[in-house]
Amino acid sequence: MQKYGLIGYPLKHSFSIGYFNEKFHSEGIDAEYVNFEIPEINDFKEIIEENPNLCGLNVTIPYKEQVIPFLDSLDPDTAKIGAVNVIKIIRQKGKVQLIGYNSDIIGFTQSIQPLLQPHHKRALILGTGGASKAVFHGLKNLGIDSTFVSRSHEQNALLYEELTPEIMAEHTVIVNCTPVGMYPKVDFCPNIPYEYITPNHLLYDLLYNPNTTLFMKKGEERGAVTKNGLEMLLLQAFAGWEIWNK
């Protein structure tokens, strides 16, 4: 039986284990998906050694960047992002090769592309974590220049209080990569000047619980197109399965 799994810490809320085990059951695939909750990244080697039938892993926080030194190579987009969420494990003649990929960039790009219009030239990315880097490179691949927005002074990032009417008018795509507004704190939203949102704007939220976040609601009130991150979550899972099996 093939084995797949997820490394991270803690792993209370894992979409992947339910999704993949249901897939294996419904499609008659002889495989199982397990959670490997590891308190530190050095335990990663043990997982590879102790599970000889392990063919692939997903990676979640806090290890998307920490796992990279343990890998043999990265796919080109993943190298630019500097964060891994899919590992392909190739075993040949007793040797193990570990290749890192980022399926967030694939899921995000496929999900947002149908919503993009010719006037969408520039984007604001709220947050500067691992997911925001995937979003940055995904938008770049789609021909859109992005600027990060952060709560603290960071290189190449604007502060929320620096978002002027001009900046809001120029940047007609806004992607929330922060956890602000996620259940149970549904009455919160990123602190952008929503009064400058127009029907020209596209607001994309990586969150999907609740289904319509306050960020999205405020955008819809101003006539903007909005979308949550559920489709991206599913598309990145499909992409992970394809990576493991190609």
- Side chain identity at 237, as an amino acid letter? A
Q: Are 204 and 212 in contact (CB under 8 A)?
A: no
Local structure of 56: helix, strand or coil: strand
Which of 101, 121, 144 represents a domain boundary (last residue)? 101
pTM reported for the whole predicted model = 0.91
- The residues, ordered by sequence, that sit 6+ positions from 61 with a Cβ below 8 Å of its Cβ are 8, 130
246 within domain boundaries = no
110 and 91 part of one domain? no
Question: What is the domain-level CATH number for residue 19?
Answer: 3.40.50.10860
Of residues 111, 2, 13, 17, the one with CA closest to residue 58: 17
125 and 212 part of one domain? yes
| Structural domain count, the chain | 2
237 within domain boundaries = no
Check whether 14 has a pLDDT greater than 90: no
Max Cα-Cα span within the chain? 62
- Beta partners for 33? 4
133 tagged catalytic? no
Of residues 240, 244, 226, the one with CA closest to residue 181: 226
Angle at 74 between CA 72 and CA 80, to 5 degrees: 145
- Side chain identity at 201, as an amino acid letter? H
For position 129, what pLDDT does the model report? 84
- The pair phi, psi for residue 168, each rounded to 5°, is -65, -35
**pLDDT tens-digit map of 175-215:** 999 999 999 999 999 999 999 999 999 999 999 999 999 99
140 and 39 part of one domain? no
Angle at 158 between CA 155 and CA 164, to 5 degrees: 160
15 and 56 part of one domain? yes
For position 183, what pLDDT does the model report? 93
51 and 157 part of one domain? no
87 and 192 part of one domain? no
26 within domain boundaries = yes
150 and 60 part of one domain? no
- 139: domain range? 105-232
196 and 169 part of one domain? yes
For position 155, what pLDDT does the model report? 85
19 and 37 part of one domain? yes
58 and 174 part of one domain? no
Sign of the alpha-carbon torsion through 208, 106, 123, 223: negative
The structure tokens 């894992």 sit at 14
27 and 132 part of one domain? no
For position 61, what pLDDT does the model report? 85
- The pair phi, psi for residue 21, each rounded to 5°, is -65, -35
Q: Which of 64, 133, 218, 227 is catalytic?
A: 64
Q: Are 55 and 3 in contact (CB under 8 A)?
A: yes
